[in-house]
Amino acid sequence: MICLYKLKIQMKNTIKLFIVAVIAFSVSSCQKEGCTDPTAYNYNPDADTDDGSCTFEGCTDPNAANYDPLATISSTCIYDQVGSWTSTYQEISGDVTMSVGGFPIYDTTFSEITHPDSLEPAGLDFIPDGNLYVHYTDEPTDTGSWVRTGDNLSMTMMDTTLIMLIDSVDGTFMRLTSSGSESESGMGVQIDYNYNMKLEFSRN
């Protein structure tokens, strides 16, 4: 009788363990794994267990103004001129007219592309706080300031202000352009200048 009693107790314990295991399996099988972060690109509102698969959308280019170090899926990146740049191309073109007593006596056009070995300034550093560093090949670096309004970039160095248009800028390339007119007169002679300037840079 004692052995039979022990056998029944053992059977009951085994059945209890089996029931507990079935319940645990049922509960675990009902849980759904996935991304549980509502800010993630692949958020799954039905998931109740995070499986570490969350991905985040944002700009993944460190050179961009809106770079997101947490982003794993690249979206639209926004670029500006802030950073360090090396000059790669410089061109100036235009026309000159000379008049005497209001009558034109000389008119010519000009165009000049600077040789790659003679590009000056050699580089520009736009610091986020508004400081500007202008680098030359064989001369000390000048310090100035910059202000950007829309696509217009104003650069001031040694009491001289140059306003240029940011024609193009991305993670590796920037093009600045400028155009204008100037006049000089004296002794009945007037000289009129029209010019166009193009500067191109690569990002360091």
Task: For 151-193, write each residue's pLDDT tens digit.
Answer: 999 999 878 899 999 999 999 999 999 999 989 888 889 999 8
User: Among all chains, which residue has been given the structure tokens 């460190």?
Assistant: 62
pTM of the model as a whole: 0.72
Q: Are strands 103-113 and 189-203 parallel, antiparallel or unpaired?
A: unpaired
pLDDT computed for residue 27 by the predictor: 46
Q: In whole angstroms, give the CA distance from residue 88 to residue 124.
A: 11
Query: For 55-69, what is each residue's pLDDT tens digit?
Result: 999 999 999 999 999
What residues contact 99, with CB distance under 8 A and at least 6 apart?
A: 105, 189, 190, 191, 192
pLDDT computed for residue 179 by the predictor: 93
pLDDT computed for residue 158 by the predictor: 79
Of 60, 36, 64, 40, the closest CA to residue 48 belongs to 36
Q: Residue ranges of the chain with pLDDT lower than 70? A: 1-31
Using alpha carbons, list the distances in angstroms from residue 200 to 18, 82, 118, 122: 76, 15, 14, 11
What residues contact 62, with CB distance under 8 A and at least 6 apart?
A: none
